[in-house]
Amino acid sequence: MTASADFKAPAAEQMLLRGLLRGFLRLFFRGLVRPPMPVAGQRRVLRALTTITLTPRGVTRSADTLAGRRCEWHWPPASNGGVLLYLHGGAFMIGGPDTHRGICASLAKRGALEVCALDYRLAPEHPYPAARDDVVAAYQALLEAGYRPQQIAIGGDSAGGNLSLVGCLRIIELGLPAPAALVCFSPATDFTGEQMHEPPAGDPLIHPRWIEQAAELYCPADLPRDDPGLSPLFADLSPLPPTLIQVGEDELLLNDSLRLAERAKAAAVDVRLERYPGLWHVFQAHVGMLRAADYAIARVVAFLREQGV
């Protein structure tokens, strides 16, 4: 793929730290979070790896429920009234609000946003469309709680980026007002797997067999993999609100972002594509440690402010 970007990150820095992170992720994430390890084991590994997460001072966290699902709220020292409904990644099978506290707390503080991390239902216990339906129900609950659509953004990483897109399209299909903006970190957009990227430096995070496992456990057997509800790349994208896509260039899912941006632009969507050379899948998780991640989060905050969130 040769899709252009509206923005491309500056030259690489912190090369020693990047190398250390690459090696750590390759050994402890890519090497473990994949078959033959069962999903229950993968969930334990991710929670162990994210037990010690850097979170900024001044952000208050509270547990709650939203539309019947557990969630975590991150409250900034001073809120501008906007809310970000955050959907964690984890190949639709693992992860939760507790594994993504670094990203959520950083977005809350830097954006003066109220961030709600939703504990949506996971496969294999709950395949598609359970997670998408949880997103729609959570959005409806935010509206019922008094948030105006212009105050709400939806965002997420990887599987959560997919759910941000298909959830928003379902919200609009149901006749609800669209949120003000979407933020997608390396979204999974094509379950056919026909144009997987092969970075020369390798993907230190995602093993191809993990992607295959996710597709087998999340996608119903009787539903084509290019169904728009599963793969937003094949949906009518024209109703989408302004959308920011950030993606690392050293990741298997690079083309999912590039192709989505191309199709969204062709559908006249206000879409921004940001490419980060030398970085991997959801590098934003290293916010507070990796300057490129700090920079990317700052770009998200600027984008949301531009949309009035």
Per-residue pLDDT of the chain (309 residues; tens, 9 = 90+): 445 567 777 767 899 999 999 999 999 999 999 999 999 999 999 999 998 788 899 999 999 999 999 999 999 999 999 999 999 999 999 999 999 999 999 999 999 999 999 999 999 999 999 999 999 999 999 999 999 999 999 999 999 999 999 999 999 999 999 999 999 999 999 999 989 999 998 899 999 999 999 999 999 999 999 999 999 999 999 999 999 999 999 999 999 999 999 999 999 999 999 999 999 999 999 999 999 999 999 999 999 999 999
- Residues 6 or more apart whose CB falls under 8 angstroms from that of 97 comprise 70, 71, 72, 88, 104, 117, 118, 119
Looking at the structure, give the CATH architecture of the domain made up of residues 7-306.
3-Layer(aba) Sandwich (3.40)
Instruction: Evaluate whether 160 touches 89 at the Cβ level (below 8 Å).
Output: yes
Is 251 among the residues known to form the active site?
A: yes
Is 62 among the residues known to form the active site?
A: no
pTM value is 0.96
**Residue of 72, 114, 249, 251 marked active site:** 251
Cα-flanking dihedrals φ and ψ of residue 13, to 5°? -140, 175
Give the C-alpha separation, 307 to 153, whole Å. Answer: 9
**Residue of 72, 106, 114, 158 marked active site:** 158
Instruction: Evaluate whether 297 touches 287 at the Cβ level (below 8 Å).
Output: yes
Is there a cis peptide before residue 179, judged by omega within 30 degrees of 0?
A: no
